[in-house]
Structure formats: C-alpha cells, structure tokens
A and B are shown apart, each in its own frame.
Chain A
Amino acid sequence: MPLVNAQIKRGSAELAVLALLAERPLHGYEIAKQIEAQTGGVLRFDMASLYPMLHRLERKSWVKAEWQTLPNGRRRRCYRLTASGRKQIAPLRAEWRAFFQALQSVTGFQNA
C-alpha cells in the first residue's frame, strides 16, 4: 500500500519536525542531524524529503523561516514554530497515539 505508506511517512515526519522546533529554532541541516541523533539513526531525512516538507509547513504557516547570519558569517535559513504550528502538535500527537493503539490491538506489538 504505497499511498498509506507515503502518508504515514509524511505525517510522522511533520510531527517530528514540529516537536523539534517547539524546543528552539533550527536550520535545515540541524533539524536533519538532531532527528537522526535523537532516534539513533532510525529516522533519517535526506534533502529531497526534508526541504520540500519544510516549505510545505511554511506554506501552511505552521513554521516561519527567516535568514540568519551565524557567528561564522554564513547565512542560514532558520525555521521557528509559529503559534498556529504549536497548536498542531497536540492533535497530531493524539492522532499518532490513536494510530499506534489501533495497530497494537491488531498486531499485539507494544510501543515504547
């Protein structure tokens, strides 16, 4: 079922990014690295999926991007969560919880 697979991937990726940005603003590379580090390498973003998704979140006004000059003088596009984006986290978490519970009742697996 490639459609469901794609939707699950997209939904989980959006929640992961929003949850991460809830802590502090980050630029694309930092987002990818932090998600990889925090999930022990289980979740990995490549550029092809990360940046189009960030731009999609920006279009939905869930995140806001602005160019920032880092201490080393380089410009990076930093993403921060908007008030509207913050509101999305709780319902998304609830959706995922319901999803895992449903899956658990069918397959008997335990989620951590």
Chain B
Amino acid sequence: MPDWKQIVHKNLRALGVCSPEFTEELAGHLEDSYEALLREGVPAEVAFHRTMRQIKGRRRDWLELNFVKEELMTGLTRMNGFIRKVALPGLLTTAASALVSWVLIRVGIWPKVILMPNREFQMFLALSPWWWGMLPFCGVLGALLSRRNGGSRLQCIAAATAPGTVIGAILLLEFPLGFIYQGLVNHQWDFNLLEALGLFLLSFSVIPAAFLLLGAGVSEVSAKKFDRIAQ
C-alpha cells in the first residue's frame, strides 16, 4: 500500500506550509480512491497512476492555488475580525483616555504625586482621580464599538481596557530590561527598580484598567438591558 501521506506531502509542498491537516485529509481521499479502484479489479499499478492523476500537473497547481487562496482568506478574515473587534475599539479607548488626560493637564489639573519616603532615589505614586473618574466613559466607548462590531464579551473587555494593558505591557518590558542593563553595565543590581515598577504599574496600568473595566461592565449591563427591552 503506497504511503499517501508521504506522497501528498512530497507533491503538494504549498499545502504542507498551510497545514498538516490538509495533507492528512487529502491523503485519506487518495487512499479511498485507490482502494475503490482496486475493488473494481483495476491492477495495483494502474490504480496507483490513476489516483496520482488527481494531484499531478495542472490539477496539482489548481489544488495548491485554491488551498492557498482559502488559507489567505481565512487569515484575512481572522485579521479583519481582530482589527474590527479589538484593535480599532482599543485604539478609540486609548485615544479618548489620552485626550481626557491632555485636556485635564491643559486646564491645570495635574496628577497628585506622592513621594515615597526614605528611598535612595525618588520614587512616587501618581494619583489622578479626575482622570480615573473619566476613564469609565472611555471604556464604555471602546466596549460599545467592539460590541457593535460583533465582539464577544472578552473582546469588549480587551478593547475597553486597552490603554491600561498597553501601558502595563510597556512597563513590564521596559523595567526588566533596565534592571538587566544596570546589572550588566554598572554591575549593580538595583532592586529599588522593582519597587518603582510596582508603583508605576499601579498608577498607570492597574488602577486605570480597573476604571476602564468599570466602563466595560456598565456597557455590558446596559446592552443586556437594551436587548431585554428589544425582545
């Protein structure tokens, strides 16, 4: 019995790149075709050549082209879904929260900075109650847009909390790098940096994300209420 999986893998290289599942599925098809021919009394060698015709020459090109096209479309559909349901609403939330922060600073409302006592270098906690107070509205905007674009509950939450998540990710990436750099260049492992990371995360990521999440929650509850009324 020919090794159809191996044959498909060898002959349809483009499919191997796409997915091993396609290879196995097509191998199964060829195996069934080959066995059906054998059952009809066709000699094994002829049956093999007839089966191979399905993946040779122009047919192979068509098969590869169609599969690659389908794969590409699947990828684009997924990407479009992510952009519409998470990335764009997340960008809207981020832009709205940045705008609010800018307006507050323009009108003279600065974050309240609390210096941490008894530290070798200045460490602070930034409290921005006015900004935080406005963040639920930004969260509502992102969650509503995500929901309107067909986003799931998780995608709505991701879109609404995007600014906090992005800042958190940047801090989590930046501080360990700084910590390692200091250790390698200055040969001094400064553990105060870890404490500073905690304070920054709290001020600019965790607390804002909690307020944004509040907005996502409000949007979820109001959407459910609206759905119930609509029914």
Residues of chain A having any CB pair with chain B under 8 Å: 27-29, 32-33, 46-49, 51-52, 55-56, 59, 74-77
Contact of B32 among A29, A56, A75 (CB under 8 A): A29
Within 8 A of A (CB), among B19-76: 21-22, 24-26, 28-29, 31-33, 36, 54-55, 59, 62-63, 66-67, 69-70, 73-74
B33 and A29 contact, CB distance less than 8 A? yes
B25 and A77 contact, CB distance less than 8 A? yes
**Interface size on B (CB < 8 Å)?**
23
Within the complex, the shortest CB–CB distance from A80 to chain B, in Å, comes to: 15
Give the residues in chain B near A75, CB-CB below 8 Å. 24, 28
Contact of A27 among B28, B54, B62, B66 (CB under 8 A): B28
B28 and A77 contact, CB distance less than 8 A? yes
Within the complex, the shortest CB–CB distance from A5 to chain B, in Å, comes to: 15
Task: Report the nearest A residue to B33, measured CB to CB.
Answer: A29
A47 and B70 contact, CB distance less than 8 A? no
A28 and B77 CA atoms in complex are apart in Å by 24
Most buried by B among A27, A33, A52, A59: A52
Task: Report the nearest A residue to B71, measured CB to CB.
Answer: A55
Contact of B59 among A33, A47, A74, A77 (CB under 8 A): A47
Task: Report the nearest B residue to A65, measured CB to CB.
Answer: B25
Give the residues in chain B near A47, CB-CB below 8 Å. 26, 29, 54-55, 59, 63
Task: Report the nearest B residue to A50, measured CB to CB.
Answer: B29
Contact of B73 among A28, A29, A49, A59 (CB under 8 A): A59
Within the complex, the shortest CB–CB distance from B37 to chain A, in Å, comes to: 12
Task: Report the nearest B residue to A33, measured CB to CB.
Answer: B36
A74 and B67 CA atoms in complex are apart in Å by 23
Contact of A51 among B22, B32, B77 (CB under 8 A): B22
A15 and B86 CA atoms in complex are apart in Å by 34
* CB-CB under 8 A for A48 and B63, given A59-B73, A59-B77: yes
* CB-CB under 8 A for A46 and B28, given A52-B66, A55-B70, A56-B70: no
